[in-house]
Amino acid sequence: MDSREGNTTKKTLVLGIGNIIMGDEGFGIQVVRRLGGANLPPSVRLEEGGVGGFNLLGSLEGMSRVIVVDVMMTDLPPGEIRLFRPGPGFGEPGKTIVSFHQVGALELVQMWGLLGEAPEVYYLVTRPERIAWGTELSPPVEAAAAKAARLLREISADDFAVLERSARLCTP
């Protein structure tokens, strides 16, 4: 119980998604690694999801809130971040899945819903500048990783009470 208001504290998973050997594709993993030494509330769990797909379903068990950290092809310039809660019908334009190996974070969360779970799901994203072999983030995405880690530290300090407000502030 949260003694401040008598509310049950929600368990929150910050799930970094991406491939760390494909440059900016490793953004989500790098953000989670930056948070590894942070003094986060006990209700927050960090996980490097990599490219785990459906293998990550077990990680979602018992979570009330999931914040997926990843790159996304958006209208943002590389280096800017956006925190948002996807609405109904949210999807990647033109993506066709023909194999379980192509399952991304979006499909993972949708499968979780089909299993009867109804968590709060948020995405914290940036647009990649470069997806190519290499372990370094491009300079703008490196800056985005620092911003994203700072934002997550700040909003976790009060058990994400300002999450909706932060989502609006990060959305143009």
Local confidence band at 166 (pLDDT 50, 70, 90 cut-offs): low
Q: What is the pLDDT of residues 112-139, one digit of tens each?
A: 777 777 778 899 999 999 999 999 999 9
The percent helix, strand, coil of the chain (3-state, each to 5) is 35, 20, 45
Q: Where are the alpha helices (DSSP H) in the chain?
A: 27-35, 57-60, 105-114, 139-156, 163-170
Q: Note the pTM of the prediction, 2 decimals.
A: 0.83
Largest CA distance in the chain: 49
Q: What is the pLDDT of residue 118?
A: 73
- From the number of C-beta atoms within 10 Å of its C-beta (0-12, 13-18, 19+), residue 132 rates as exposed
Residue 13, pLDDT > 90, answer: yes
CA distance 114 to 106: 13
Q: What is the pLDDT of residue 88?
A: 67
Q: What is the pLDDT of residues 56-102, one digit of tens each?
A: 777 778 888 999 999 988 889 999 999 988 876 666 555 454 444 44
Nearest in space to 78 (alpha carbons), one of 20, 17, 139: 139
- Is the CATH number of domain 12-170 3.40.50.1450? yes
